[in-house]
């Protein structure tokens, strides 16, 4: 009960800090020129302040420091405090990179280098890495060598960080999807009884929701790369910290938690590869763009993607409750196949990869036509 009260206080403190700090960030963004001007790729039609992620970051760090003196002895071990320090240290580097980009528009290579450095601090500076592996349908987890675990962990952190950055295209979209993912992590950490992840998730969730008061459509401020990179980094680290002890099959859990940004990123890579465009070249083919083209309003598009993210989160929670066994592995495997099939059908329906290429839908249509022909005979 006392722990739950502490988590609640952390959430409230972070929420209030975000509500108080974000208006100050708006003024700062205009003052230093960290603004977003409309262009052919942007949805907004007026100059908007960026740098909003500073409000989330300040609320997160401030919320943690505010309740740190009240954390009871024994709740966090030395190892747990190491996890928290890793997230704050790496997150600070990410926020600096994002803030510089919001003001000066850094090149993609410079931003990628900054993300790798931040991930490297977590992995090499604090020895936080994925260090267990299980062959699907195997019986025991096996330790993996550092030459595999270190690049694997850095790849995971950098990949998720960029995935959140890529979906930041509509008011409240990246913040809301991140909030749903963080909430999912908090629920799963509570089920597992993992105190540091519960604590960090509830504090970060408070900051995101407080920021959403200014970022939901019509937004008064954009989170910018400061926010999208920080939230992506936080999601990558928290999902890894909470579930790094699970198997490769169960590693589906963190993939489901961030299923929306990861799938959107995957389809973006495929789309650019098919169209022979650079992988990092921006376009207007993301999920939110496609939904807008179908006629959905700005707000409804965001709410639809929230619902998809919540569905993925619910699947992650249900999947994580399955007891590890061969039968459970088969259930997980089937769930993965079904979700991949649904994703492919949805992608073809909205044209997220290509407006004309619909291989699965065309195949199903041919099967139905043959079935009807056989029935007519």
- Interval 193-204: pLDDT, tens: 888 889 999 999
Q: Which residues contact 255 (CB under 8 A, 6 or more apart)?
A: 262
Q: Could you report the per-residue pLDDT of 300-348, keeping only the tens digit for each? A: 999 999 999 999 888 888 777 765 545 556 666 777 778 878 888 888 8
Give the pTM: 0.86
Q: How many domains does the chain have?
A: 1
Residue 283 gets the label, from left (phi > 0), alpha (psi -120 to 50) or beta, of beta
Give percent above pLDDT 90 in the chain: 40
Mean pLDDT of all residues belonging to the chain: 83
Average pLDDT over residues 220-229: 94
Question: Strand 132-133 relative to strand 35-36: parallel, antiparallel, unpaired?
Answer: unpaired
Binding site listing: 165, 225
Nearest to 103 by CA among 33, 38, 31: 33
Average pLDDT over residues 210-232: 94
pLDDT at 246: 37
Binding site listing for Mg(2+): 165, 225
Asked if 223 and 215 touch (Cβ cutoff 8 Å), the reply is: yes
User: Cα separation of 49 and 28, whole Å?
Assistant: 9
Q: How confident is the model at residue 244 (pLDDT cuts 50, 70, 90)?
A: very low
Q: How confident is the model at residue 110 (pLDDT cuts 50, 70, 90)?
A: very high
Nearest to 46 by CA among 32, 35, 31, 34: 35
In terms of residue numbers, what domain contains 261? 2-376
Q: Could you report the per-residue pLDDT of 96-108, keeping only the tens digit for each? A: 999 999 999 999 8
* 184 HSE (CA, 13 A, CB side): 30
Nearest to 80 by CA among 194, 4, 191: 194
User: Cα separation of 263 and 195, whole Å?
Assistant: 30
């Amino acid at each position: 009960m006392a722990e739950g009260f502490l988590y609640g206080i952390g959430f409230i403190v972070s929420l209030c800090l975000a509500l108080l700090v974000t208006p100050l960030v708006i003024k700062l963004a205009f003052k230093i020129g960290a603004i977003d001007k409309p262009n052919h790729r942007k949805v907004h039609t007026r100059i908007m302040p960026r740098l909003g992620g500073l409000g989330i970051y300040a609320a997160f760090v401030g919320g943690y420091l505010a309740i740190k003196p009240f954390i009871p002895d024994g709740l966090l071990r030395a190892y747990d405090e190491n996890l928290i320090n890793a997230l704050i240290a790496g997150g600070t580097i990410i926020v600096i990179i994002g803030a510089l980009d919001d003001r000066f528009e850094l090149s993609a290579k410079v931003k990628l280098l900054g993300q790798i450095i931040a991930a490297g601090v977590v992995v090499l500076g604090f020895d936080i890495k994925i260090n267990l592996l299980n062959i699907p349908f195997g019986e025991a987890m096996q330790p993996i060598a550092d030459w595999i675990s270190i690049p694997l962990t850095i790849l995971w952190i950098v990949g998720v960080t960029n995935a959140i950055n890529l979906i930041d295209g509509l008011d409240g979209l990246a913040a809301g999807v991140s909030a749903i993912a963080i909430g999912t992590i908090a629920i799963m950490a509570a089920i597992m009884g993992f105190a540091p992840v519960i604590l960090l998730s509830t504090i970060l969730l408070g900051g995101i929701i407080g920021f959403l008061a200014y970022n939901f459509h019509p937004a008064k401020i954009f989170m910018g790369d400061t926010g999208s990179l920080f939230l992506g980094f936080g999601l990558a680290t928290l999902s890894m910290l909470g579930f790094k002890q699970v198997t490769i099959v169960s590693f589906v859990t963190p993939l489901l938690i961030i299923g929306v940004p990861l799938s959107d990123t995957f389809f973006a890579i495929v789309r650019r590869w098919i169209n022979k465009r650079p992988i990092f070249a921006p376009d207007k083919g993301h999920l939110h763009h496609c939904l807008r083209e179908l006629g959905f309003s700005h707000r409804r598009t965001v709410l639809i993607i929230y619902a998809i993210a919540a569905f993925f989160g619910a699947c992650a929670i249900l999947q994580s409750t399955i007891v590890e066994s061969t039968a459970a592995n088969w259930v997980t495997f089937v769930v993965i196949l079904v979700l991949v099939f649904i994703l492919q059908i949805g992608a073809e329906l909205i044209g997220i990869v290509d407006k004309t290429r619909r291989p699965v839908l065309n195949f199903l249509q041919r099967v139905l036509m043959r079935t009807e022909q056989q029935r007519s005979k």
